[in-house]
């Protein structure tokens, strides 16, 4: 039999092609695109082992993830995103990531690890009107004095559960469940259309 092809399909494979959406003249107010090629693991501290987990995280990911709603940068392009008390996501470029089994053995005593690399879609959204667009879906106050660079939140957007953090002044990352990705994508396009959206070619996480 001929060789089987195992092509990866990203959550937004069918829809996130580069194009301009909404208002077409002038500069786009919003830029959005899907980020691919990442490892995403959820670490949940074993009972009473939260400190040990953070300690191991420091050696494994290069920084203390802390225990407050922040997205913390580590080594090898890793970002650790708080997702609840004593639990966080570690988001790493696939090329620089360690096998989940290896992480499981490193954190054996301190954390349970669930691989969610395929369970989420990662969307980056930015631009001068990014807050005007997001405020139609997010109930969170995104004013820079309140939600500054590196702040993270576990909330919902257009009734879909998401993790959102601020990368730059006008740039945010959004993690959404894979099965909801197309719905959220349509919501973003609908709500950003009045500002004009540049949909970027999907990029690999770096």
Partner 1 sequence: MASNQSHRLRDGGIVDRSQPLDFTFDGKSYSGFSGDTLASALVANGVKLVGRSFKYHRPRGILTAGSEEPNALVELRTGARKEANTRMTVTELYDGLEAASQNRWPSLKYDFLSVNQLASPIFVAGFYYKTFMWPAKFWEGLYEPLIRRAAGLGDTAKQPDPDHYEKAWAHCDVLIAGAGPAGISAALAAGRSGARVILAEEDFAVGGRLLADGGEISRKPASEWLTNAMAEIAAMENVRLMTRTAVFGVYDGGTYGLIERVNDHLPVPPAHQPRHRLWRVVAKRCIVAMGAIERPVVFGNNDRPGVMMASAVRSYIGRYGATPGKSIAVFTNNNDGWKTVDLAEAAGVKIAAVIDARDDLPPELLARGKEGNFSVLNGRVSSADGGRDGITKVRIALNGGATAQVDADCLAMSAGWNPAVGLTCNHRGKPEWREDIAAFVPGNCPEGMTVAGAANGHFSLKDCLSGGHRAGAEAAKAAGMSGKPGTAAKSSAEEYGQTPLWHVAGKGKSFVDQQHDVTASDVKLANLEGFQSVEHLKRYTTLGMATDQGKTSNISGLAIMAEVSGRSIPETGTTMYRPPYVPVSIGALAGHHRDEEFHAVRLTPSHHWAEEQGAVFVDTGLWKRAQWYPRPGEKDWLESVNREVLTVRNGVGFCDVTTLGKIDVMGSDAGTFLDRVYINTFSKLAVGKARYGLMLREDGIVMDDGTTSRLSEDHYFMTTTTAKAGPVMQHLEYCRQVLWPDLDVQLTSASEQWAQFSIAGPKTREVLKAVLDPSEDVSNDAFPFMGAREVKLRDADITCRLFRISFSGELAFEISVPCAYGDAMARNLMKAGQPHGIIPYGTEALGVMRIEKGHAAGNELNGMTTAGDLGLGRMMAKKKDYIGRVMAQREELVSPDRMVMVGIKPVNKLDKLYAGGHVIPKGAKPGPDTDEGYVTSVCFSPMLDQYLGLGMVARGRDRIGEIMSVCDPLHGKTYDCEICNPVFYDPEGGRQRG
**Residue 103 found at the interface with partner 1 (CB under 8 A):** no
CB of 140 to partner 1, least distance (A): 8
**Residue 26 found at the interface with partner 1 (CB under 8 A):** no
CB atoms within 10 A of CB 108: 12
Closest CA to 162 of 188, 144, 199, 143: 188
Closest CA to 148 of 168, 127, 163, 176: 168
**Could you tell me the maximum CA-CA distance found in the chain, to the nearest angstrom?**
61
**Residue 67 found at the interface with partner 1 (CB under 8 A):** no
Strand positions, DSSP E, the chain? 19-21, 30-36, 38-45, 71-73, 79-84, 87-93, 111-115, 120-126, 152-157, 160-168, 171-177, 197-199, 203-204
Q: Report the residue number, 47 or 168, with the smaller CB distance to partner 1.
A: 47
**What backbone torsions phi and psi does residue 179 show, to the nearest 5 degrees?**
-70, -25
Q: List the one residue from 64, 115, 167, 170 that touches partner 1 (CB under 8 A).
A: 115
**What backbone torsions phi and psi does residue 191 show, to the nearest 5 degrees?**
-80, -20
CB of 143 to partner 1, least distance (A): 7
**Residue 19 found at the interface with partner 1 (CB under 8 A):** no
Q: List the one residue from 119, 154, 155, 167 that touches partner 1 (CB under 8 A).
A: 119
Tokens 């077409």 locate to: 24
Closest CA to 178 of 9, 58, 29: 9
Single out the segment in contact with partner 1 by CB under 8 A; choices: 59-67, 122-130, 134-142, 198-206: 134-142
Tokens 């290896």 locate to: 102
Q: List the one residue from 26, 59, 143, 168 that touches partner 1 (CB under 8 A).
A: 143
CB of 82 to partner 1, least distance (A): 15
Binding residues for partner 1 restricted to 175-204, rule: CB under 8 A: 177-180, 182-184, 186-187, 190-191, 193-194
**Residue 159 found at the interface with partner 1 (CB under 8 A):** yes
**Residue 52 found at the interface with partner 1 (CB under 8 A):** no
Is 67 in contact with 58 (CB distance < 8 Å)? no
**Residue 155 found at the interface with partner 1 (CB under 8 A):** no
Binding site for partner 1 (CB under 8 A): 1-11, 13-14, 22-23, 42, 44-47, 111-112, 114-120, 135-136, 138-141, 143, 146, 158-160, 177-180, 182-184, 186-187, 190-191, 193-194
């Amino acid at each position: 039999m001929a060789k089987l092809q195992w092509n990866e399909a990203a959550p937004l494979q069918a829809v996130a092609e580069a194009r301009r959406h909404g208002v077409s003249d002038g500069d786009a107010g919003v830029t959005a695109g899907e980020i691919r090629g990442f490892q995403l693991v959820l670490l949940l501290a074993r009972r009473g082992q939260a400190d040990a987990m953070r300690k191991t995280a420091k050696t494994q990911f290069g920084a203390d993830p802390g225990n407050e709603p922040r997205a913390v940068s580590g080594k090898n392009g890793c970002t650790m995103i708080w997702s609840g008390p004593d639990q966080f996501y570690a988001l790493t470029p696939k090329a620089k990531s360690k096998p989940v089994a290896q992480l499981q053995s490193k954190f054996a005593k301190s954390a349970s690890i669930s691989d969610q690399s395929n369970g989420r879609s990662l969307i980056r959204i930015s631009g001068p009107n990014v807050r005007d667009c997001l405020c139609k879906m997010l109930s969170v106050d995104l004013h820079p004095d309140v939600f500054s660079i590196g702040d993270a939140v576990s909330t919902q957007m257009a009734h879909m559960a998401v993790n959102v953090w601020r990368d730059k002044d006008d740039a945010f990352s959004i993690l959404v469940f894979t099965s909801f990705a197309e719905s959220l994508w349509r919501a973003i396009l609908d709500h950003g259309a009045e500002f004009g959206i540049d949909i970027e070619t999907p990029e690999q996480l770096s």
